[in-house]
Structure formats: structure tokens, C-alpha cells
């Protein structure tokens, strides 16, 4: 029984670390992609749309994680 408890505790620590990192990365990624998508869209419209999509997804993740 002790091994399952240890695995659960280890998984919980990993999930906490990933969540903490995502809380830090999401707002930065949202700002960077928002700034880059305009000039990038002028060079290549498809790349601009992808950058806007990534920035929007990061913005939604930021709202969800940093409530």
C-alpha cells in the first residue's frame, strides 16, 4: 500500500510543478505572440494567423490558471 501512496504523492508534486510553470509562461507567451503576430502576418499571413491562435490560446490558459 505504501508504494501507491508514494506514487500518488510524486504525481501530485509533478502536477503542481507543471501548473506553477504554466502560470508563469502563459502571460509571457500571450504578450509575445500578440506583439509578434502583426509584423509576422505582414510577411506571411498564414504564420500570422498561427501566431494569433497561439497567443489567443495562451491568453485563455492565462485566464484559467491565474484566477
1 has a pLDDT exceeding 60 = no
pLDDT for the residue numbered 14: 86
Domain assignment of residue 15, yes or no: no
Whether residue 50 lies inside any domain: the answer is yes
Number of domains in the chain: 1
Residues of the domain holding 38 = 21-67
- Whether 63 maps to a domain, the answer reads yes
Give a yes or no: residue 4 inside a domain: no
Tell me the pLDDT tens digit for each residue of 8-65: 787 788 888 888 998 999 999 999 999 999 999 999 999 999 999 999 999 999 999 8
Report pTM. 0.72
CB atoms within 10 A of CB 40: 18
Give the three-class secondary structure for 26: helix
Amino acid at each position: 500500500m505504501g508504494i501507491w501512496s508514494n506514487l500518488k504523492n510524486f504525481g501530485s508534486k509533478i502536477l503542481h510543478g507543471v501548473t506553477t510553470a504554466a502560470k508563469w509562461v502563459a502571460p509571457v507567451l500571450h504578450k509575445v505572440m500578440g506583439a509578434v503576430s502583426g509584423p509576422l502576418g505582414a510577411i506571411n499571413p498564414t504564420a500570422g494567423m498561427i501566431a494569433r491562435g497561439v497567443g489567443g490560446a495562451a491568453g485563455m490558459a492565462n485566464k484559467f490558471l491565474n484566477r
